[in-house]
Amino acid sequence: MASITVRQLDDKLKRLLRLRAARHSRSMEDEVRVILRQAAEQTGGEVLEHLDPPARPTRQTTRAIAAGTKRILLIIGGGIAAYKSLDLIRRLHDRGAQVRCILTAAAQHFITPLAAGALCGERAYTDLFDAQSEFDIGHIRLARDTDAIVVAPATADILAKMAGGHADDLATAVLLATDKPILIAPAMNPRMWAAKPTQRNLAQLIADGIRVVGPNRGEMAEPLEIAAAVAAITRPAGPLSGRRVLVTAGPTNEPIDPVRFIANRSSGKQGHAIAEAAAAAGADVVLVSGPVSLHDPPGVSVVKVETARQMLAAVERAMPVDIAVFAAAVADWRPERTSENKIKKQPGQTPSLALIENPDILSTIAHRKSDRPRLVIGFAAETEALVANAKAKLAKKGSDWILANDVSPQTGIMGGDTNTIHLITANGVESWPPQSKDEVARMLIERIVGALGDAKR
């Protein structure tokens, strides 16, 4: 096999290589290995796939990561709570994060790298001196190519090593080499937790700027709680930092039988854009969406529902929130009965459909006696007398603001990319120019920030 060293390359190539290596935070040798590997894979990828399936990055790692997607490095320590970390991977995915895993040697007594890797969508990393991982990623890059590191479960041993600055395995080397925020979720026997060295180490770690979630009554914090803590430390700071925002979006589907349903033309684009803009402004956002064919907005907790009743239940579970924006086109009625089996065609007979009213989600939340959001914002989809109908809706539904839009087919708003809004509040009507749904979302967030600021004064 030919052997070549970087020194033998010509100067121009060396310069280019140096630049590329610096961009990827790798040594020049590592960069060459990656280039060679990629070239070899392009020609012999299918063969490699059969020889070496878990070692190759899967589609999820190689696909372009959507802008704003948070990358989380999860270090799984050795404790019985390690099984919960598998659920944590799923919870982090639910929040739109991309997850990469390191398992300590002790963790591998409780769960396998294969299970963690399968859930992450890329191989789990285990060894500091693993030719495979040094080959294409290396511990320095693991430490840097992430937005945050989570250690869950964080055992007494990991805490001690972190506090002492040890770096004798992949997990501790990465923890020492990183400049990214670190969150630990301790889990251990209550006596080990109460032991003076553990408490001393913990105090040191907190002083070093490391965040802690749990433990709760001796147990590791629940995956949902850890995922929320991760989201909080990776969220951008902005004018809505510390605020919780709920957005509904999309249509609802109301089943007639197992294959048929009542739906509408809503695409969910406006609601998704609002959720994304709120997250970009630093808010903790829950998006309750009916069936849509859109990607989940980054940094947002997405709850997927089908029917109006499911949407109401999800909205109630998300309470309390500071701001609620109801952009969903909720079906006003549902079939009174959903047939268990597909309704068969009978010669000469047309079935009739009896409908009953769905709950009004906006009105239910706006009329809450306790925990009413400070700002309740609805939409009015109208095809005539836009402003007059929207003003009537403001009063009837008890919402603070209404964003009225004309959804007549010729406007192309329903399902389209642009929107023309009239913002109706107790102070009057403000007509916005036609603009993209993303711009509408940003303008709405600006108004919300303004209103919250005014309320404080």
First-to-last CA distance in the chain?
74
DSSP 69-120: --EEEEEEPSSTTHHHHHHHHHHHHHTT-EEEEEE-TTGGGTS-HHHHHHHH
For residue 434 the two structure tokens come to 């036609």
- DSSP class of residue 235 equals S
Subset of 385-414 contacting ligand CTP (CB under 6 A): 393
The answer to whether 264 is a known catalytic residue is yes
Residue with smaller CB distance to ligand CTP, 172 or 248: 248
Q: Would you say 184 or 394 has its CB closer to ligand CTP?
A: 394
Least Å from the CB of residue 379 to ligand CTP: 4
Shortest reach from residue 359's CB to ligand CTP, in Å? 6
Residue whose tokens read 């935070």: 25
Task: Determine which residue in the list 361, 375, 443, 444 makes contact with ligand CTP, applying CB under 6 A.
Answer: 361
Q: Give dist(CA 425, CA 447) in Å, integer.
A: 11
d(CA 457, CA 450) in angstroms, rounded, equals 11
- How many positions of this chain bind ligand CTP (CB under 6 A)? 15
Q: From CA 325, how far away is CA 424, in angstroms rounded?
A: 14
224 contacts 95 by C-beta, under 8 angstroms: no
CB of 92 or CB of 330, closer to ligand CTP? 330
Looking at the Cβ atoms of 168 and 384, the one nearer to ligand CTP is 384
Catalytic position from the list 264, 358, 405, 419: 264
- By CB under 6 A, the residues from 225 to 264 that bind ligand CTP are 248
- Among residues 137, 379, 394, 443, the one that binds ligand CTP under rule CB under 6 A: 379
Cα–Cα dist 134/128, whole Å: 8
Nearer to ligand CTP, 139 or 397 (CB): 397
Should residue 381 be labelled a site residue for ligand CTP when binding is judged by CB under 6 A?
yes
How far apart are the C-alpha atoms of 323 and 69, rounded to whole Å?
23
Among 380, 414, 443, 445, binds ligand CTP (CB under 6 A): 380
The smaller minimum CB distance to ligand CTP, of residues 111 and 381, is found at 381
Stretch of residues binding ligand CTP (CB under 6 A), selected from 16-24, 59-67, 357-365, 409-417: 357-365
Closest approach, Cβ 380 to ligand CTP, in A, equals 4
Rounded Cα distance, 377 and 421, in Å: 13
Q: Which of 260, 152, 297, 273 is nearest to 215 (CA)?
A: 152
Residue 325 CB, nearest approach to ligand CTP (Å): 8
Choose the stretch contacting ligand CTP; rule: CB under 6 A; options: 99-107, 127-135, 230-238, 373-381.
Answer: 373-381
Shortest separation between residue 311's beta carbon and ligand CTP, angstroms = 8
Q: Tell me the closest approach of the beta carbon of residue 352 to ligand CTP, in angstroms.
A: 22
| 439: alpha, beta or left? (left if phi > 0; alpha if psi -120 to 50) | alpha
Q: Which is nearer to ligand CTP, 365 or 443 (CB)?
A: 365
Footprint (CB under 6 A) of ligand CTP, residues 83-142: none
Q: How far is the CB of 408 from ligand CTP (least distance, A)?
A: 13
Eight-state DSSP code of residue 413: -
Nearest Cα residue to 137 out of 168, 101, 107: 101
Residue 404 class from Cβ within 10 Å (0-12 exposed, 13-18 middle, 19+ buried)?
Answer: buried
Q: Produce one character per residue of 208-230: b if its CB has 16 or more CB atoms within 10 Å, e if not.
A: eebbbbbbeeebbbbbebbbbbb
Which residue's structure tokens are 């239910």? 364
Q: How far is CA 313 from the centre of its chain?
A: 20
Of 214, 378, 413, 438, the one binding ligand CTP (CB under 6 A) is: 378
> Does 215 sit behind a cis peptide bond, omega within 30 degrees of 0 on the bond before it?
yes
**Residue range at the interface with ligand CTP (CB under 6 A); choices 33-41, 95-103, 164-172, 360-368:** 360-368
Site for ligand CTP in 294-333 (CB under 6 A): 308, 326, 328, 330, 332
Of 402 and 443, which CB lies nearer to ligand CTP in the complex structure? 402
Mask for 22-51, x = binds ligand CTP (CB under 6 A) = ------------------------------
Q: Which is nearer to ligand CTP, 178 or 358 (CB)?
A: 358
Q: Shortest gap between Cβ of 151 and ligand CTP (angstroms)?
A: 41
Residue (of 312, 333, 293) closest to 246 by Cα position: 312
- Residue 412: CB minimum distance to ligand CTP, A: 17
Residue of 89, 107, 162, 362 interacting with ligand CTP (CB under 6 A): 362
Residue 141: closest CA among 34, 4, 19, 299? 34
Which residues participate in catalysis according to the annotation?
264
Residues that bind ligand CTP (CB under 6 A): 248, 308, 326, 328, 330, 332, 358, 360-362, 378-381, 393
